[in-house]
Amino acid sequence: MNSRPRALLLSCFLLTTCFAQTAPQSLAARAQAALSPVNGKLSVPGLTQPVRVLRDRWGVAHIYAQNQHDLFFAQGFVAAQDRLFQMELWKRSGQGRLAEVLGPSALLRDINARLLRYRGEMQAEYASYSPDTEAILRAFTDGINAEVRSLTSKGGPGLPLEFQLAGFQPESWTPEDCLNRMAAFSMTGNAFSELRNAELVAKLGVQRASAVLDLDPQVTLDPAPGSDLGGLKPSLLKNLVGSDVRIEFPSDVAEGSNNWTVSGELTVSGKPMLANDPHRVIAGPSLRYIVHLVAPGWDVIGAGEPGLPGVALGHNQQIAWGFTIFGLDQQDLYLEELNPAEPLQYKTPSGWERVRVERERFRIKGGPPVEVDLQFTRHGPVLWEDGKRALALHWVGAEPGTAGYLGSLAVARAGNWQEFEWSDGRFHRKTSCTPIPKATSGNTPLVWRRCARTGPDCCRFRARRATSGRGMCPIRSCRTVSIPLLDSSLPRTTR
């Protein structure tokens, strides 16, 4: 690949490009023919000013715009040039519509995606991130749609090979499509550990199960008196994970991400350094997408996800930040007692209440559509039931402000520690990602550790009866702690 930057000018000038008229025969040739042009000038309706995009030798896009709207419009356009098929599947995964293009094997996953999607007030959702989030999302998704039109227009290169082979076309994007909760669920999976605890208690009893788990700090599992835990186990929720095939790792391998901060006293530049090792699921293409965004008020580079605007973790000219994943208690399973005379009723402190039912229609590739009744108790969606009991999930993703990494739209514009501290509040309902900043203006880095959405008795078994009344604490009670690193010749790590 040519190591010189390649300029792509998204402007209002017409570019006439000639493409070969003969259909390539090999898959490699077909894939090459469908690549989006990354050299020269493109006429892209929707921009207000010319935008310049440089591709470095690694293919990373450096986007220079004259205003915020055009910056994120161009980011959406460029991300779609690189990752459109991945982005379309990501969007459908959050909508619960994968079965439409992948067939019946994806139906159960679609059902769970619709159970877990955000059902709250949209203005509260947008306001949770930054005041201009909705406008940024609209510009970003307009840019994605502009790239799709560019690909499919007369004389365009056509859709990427993946769409040709899979036999479907991408659909238009809206801002709501970026509010996908599936990533949040994957980072808050302690519902499975609660079921493991339940299985142990059912087999060994409370005291022996607590001893076997050897929790730190030491706690005793405390299921509600009279709970019927028989048959509860993590495999009941197997449809919530992408695969039930596990890769075994050595038993001494600890779970957790890492952030390494080095004092400016130990660096050549005199400025602190941050090295981040965030853990996510293994995927191809990668879940990460590196981009550089420059416009008035913006100069940030780092990694995000292709279906989201901005940079999730990276640095601007003053602040660098990364993420670690903590195993916080951000999901509570409620063991609901069903009415034997009326299975759509469940017990509450005030008597029997009726389960709320939402009927959803699922289209399935290669088969007729299927209608499914989704059930909800006052605690949340019902993930499993056996006619006598039901497991309802109460989790952070049902609340505003828990989509992906959109809180970074505020963090990326922080110019000093005080602004970062305020903007970090945009992550205050985020899942168990904890921002770790590094300020370039001082020699001593600070580790920012924050209690995200957690229950009052973290680590305890929480598959409870509906009458227990125990659940997640109010977000205002979560604490923030700034920790200055000790003077040392050795780096520090947080887990």
Report in angstroms the alpha-carbon separations of 56 from 37, 140, 287, 302. 15, 22, 20, 14
Structure tokens at 391: 């497991």
Measured between alpha carbons, how far is 437 from 322 in angstroms, rounded to an integer?
7
Please give the biggest Cα pair distance in the chain.
Answer: 75
Using CB atoms within 10 Å of the CB of residue 339, give its burial: 0 to 12 exposed, 13 to 18 middle, 19+ buried: middle
Active-site residue, from 257, 263, 432, 468: 257
Measured between alpha carbons, how far is 95 from 362 in angstroms, rounded to an integer?
11
Question: 78 has which bridge partners?
Answer: none
Report in angstroms the alpha-carbon separations of 392 from 52, 192, 217, 311, 323. 50, 13, 27, 34, 29
Between vectors from CA 96 to CA 90 and to CA 102, what angle results, nearest 5°? 70
Instruction: Compute the radius of gyration of the chain from its Cα atoms.
Output: 25
Q: Closest Cα partner for 75 from 173, 199, 198, 188?
A: 173
Catalytic annotation on 257?
yes
Q: How many Cβ atoms from other residues are within 10 Å of residue 105's Cβ?
A: 11
Catalytic residue numbers? 257
